[in-house]
Structure 1
Amino acid sequence: MANSGNSAAASHVGKIRSNNQDSAYAGTHLFVVADGMGGHAGGDVASAITIKHLAEADHPYSTPEDAAQVLHDTLLAANQMLSNTVIEHNELTGMGTTVSGMVRVGDKLAIAHIGDSRIYLLRDGTMSQITHDHTFVQRLVESGRITPEEAAVHPRRSVLMRVLGDVDASPEIDTEVLDTKPGDRWLLCSDGLSGFVNDDKIAAMLRRVTDVTLATDRLIQASLDQGAPDNVTVVLVDIVDEEASSHEPPIMVGSAASPLSFEPPAPKKPPRLPSLLLHPLKATTPDDAHFEPESDEYYQAIIREDRRRVRRRRISWIAFITIAVTAITAGLIGGYQYTQQQYYVGADNGQVTIYQGVQQTIGPISLSQVYQISDVRVVDLPLYRRASVENTINARDLEDALRIVRMLTDARIR
């Protein structure tokens, strides 16, 4: 973690990953987060190269539009640098990185974004997501095919449709200029935070913790509390009057803070049992993010696959419900048949009566009914026999019930 005046930045490798493929920069004017992809081979290299190159854009601008254009052009230049690096190091083929960055120009912010890292704004206590995820599942959400809740657990949630890297010579980069004002709090983060800590919890921490360094630490800890299956990186910026702002030397965190290395890291030891017990749902390595061309053919192919998955799931649920209903129905029928093999002796309108069933009800349904009314009146029985009949006498079977009635007949007071 590091602090730069009214901003702070932190990056953590997480509890599962063997190396940190995230990088971030917090400077005087520029703030940016990058999340590398490409596995051990090059995710860290991609994010580090990009952040180190972007840091050169941290200087004053005459207009926010100029800043947005410089960010756009600098990202395209970084994209070319990544391609050239792959030419020199074939083992890095397929590496790439997401980037979400902003430059402050007076009361404006120039924003540039590609991938699924995010920028949030907390203003007057309300947090909103500023950037738009360039992911396959986000397209499904926008087309109304799935809900945001389904997107969070979708098997294709790691598929990125736009990134910097050697995969696209001219990637489309989102840029925009937004207003900002004193009191605003801007959060830039990798999906190691947004993918495992929900927006409501993030917003609550941003509202509650005013110190930028402490707030950044709390956000990182929130991801660790969820098992931190991915690297997590956070940059937090508080907007104050320029006259009141202070700036320390610019800072880099994550893989950009270390010298570039093209050697894969040593494998990380698997998590210990206590960690798995504390985080049974989160402490598993998620699928590595990967890039797929943003083509309609690929999109339609995955849509068809998604439909098949939904159809299989629906068929499985129907089969499960059918089996469950059948089992419950069979159990009810079997249970009812068992009750109808039971008998007891009681009273009905003052007469000794044999009942078929058991002395219970299910709601308004009685599980017994009159089987036979004898000609013996209850009042004709001795007091102790009368009490037994009124309290009912259980029988082993019908033959036993008939025997009881015969005994009561013989016991009548003449």
Structure 2
Amino acid sequence: MLTSSLAILHDNSSHGEDNYLTRDLGDGNFLDVVLDGVTGHGGDEASGSVADGLNRAAISGPEDIVAVLEEMNAEFHQVGGGRFLLTTASAALYLNGRLHIVSVGDSPIYVIRPDGYEQYSGRMGGLIRLGVSKAVGAEATLSVFQTEAELAPTDRLVSCTDGVSDNLLGDELMQIVRAASDAEAASEQVKTLVDQHIEQGRDIRFRGGRFRHDDETAIFRFFAG
């Protein structure tokens, strides 16, 4: 069974609509969730409500996460009609030696390994755009992405919102996290680079050629055997 340490980057100063959740489920098991409320569409209330729902729920498998998301989606869609109360939700559940990923929307999750990385949801550097139709609350029927992955003691897990991923390239994130001495160092170095990019303003490698101000949230988790 793996053990892990974590650090959290959370800067909600742009819109105040990101949320996150980390839960220690015992015996090395955990749940990490990042949520990016859609700006101008009740995103702060939506992301906070989903985080609260997942924090209260009994979690014994990925199906419990899906059940909460479907319940919240039905409630949001009934109240907001698909135009209000919208949020992404990307969850990384480590349970009994397996990593389960459950995602709605474009908040990415990465497993960074010694020789590369895998992106299991979302986008990086603004190159892939999933519309708000994929958000919790947007449609009467929720579309949920699910997959599983193996983890090794040398792997590192990053879950983040697009305020981080739209302002970094995948290779930049991989290099920082792989070289960092611990999760806290990775969090600090990513925050520094994101801020530098935003101050710089433009880069043709990124969507629209411009870095952008947004809420920034990322959960960094480093593993040991």
Q: TM-score range by the shorter chain?
A: 0.7 to 0.9
Could you tell me how far apart the structure 2 residues matched to 1:161 and 1:36 are? 13
Matched, 1:111 2:101: yes
Counterparts in 2 of 1:104 and 1:232: CA distance versus 1, 3 Å: same
Larger radius of gyration: 1
Alignment correspondent of 2:169: 198
Write the letter of the residue equivalent to 2:68. Answer: T
1:127-149, Cα deviation, whole Å (9 max, x unpaired)? 2212255xxxxxxxxxxxxxx99
CA contact (8 A) 1:188 1:236 kept: yes
Secondary structure, counterpart of 1:95 in structure 2:
coil
Q: Secondary structure at the match of 2:121?
A: coil
Aligned-pair CA distance for 1:93: 4.7
In the alignment, the residues of structure 2 paired with residue 9 and residue 196 of structure 1 have an alpha-carbon distance, to the nearest angstrom, of: 17
Tell me the residue number matched to 2:67: 73
Q: Deviations over 1:100-149 (max 9, x none)?
A: 1011112201110111110011112422212255xxxxxxxxxxxxxx99
Aligned to 2:196: 225
SS, match of residue 164 in structure 1: coil
Match of 2:205 in 1: none
Partner of residue 159, structure 2:
188
**In the aligned structure 1, how far is the partner of 2:156 from the partner of 2:175?**
13
4+ runs of 1 displaced by more than 6 Å?
Answer: none
Consecutive unaligned residues in structure 1, runs of 5 or more: 62-66, 134-147, 242-414
- Structure-2 residue corresponding to 1:31: 32
Q: How many angstroms apart in 2 are the aligned matches of 1:48 and 1:159?
A: 20
Cα distance in structure 2, aligned partners of 1:231 and 1:201: 19
Partner of 1:22: 18
- The separation in 1 between residues aligned to 2:169 and 2:71, in whole angstroms, is 34
Which has the larger strand fraction?
A: 2
1:101 to 91, 112, 131: 91
- The reply on whether 1:11 has 2:10 as its aligned counterpart is yes
1:128 matches 2:118: yes
Aligned-pair identity (%): 22
Q: Label 1:58 to 1:9 Cα distance change in 2 as closer, same or farther (>3 A).
A: farther
> Normalising by structure 1, what TM-score?
0.45
Alignment of 1:118-267 (within 5 A): 118-132=108-122, 152=127, 157=129, 159-165=131-137, 167-227=138-198, 229-241=213-225
Work out the CA distance in 2 between the residues paired with 1:185 and 1:56.
27
State how far apart, in whole Å, the 2-side matches of 1:107 and 1:13 are.
Answer: 33
Structure number having the greater helix percentage:
1
Question: RCO (CA 8 Å, sep 6+): is it higher in 1 or 2?
Answer: 2
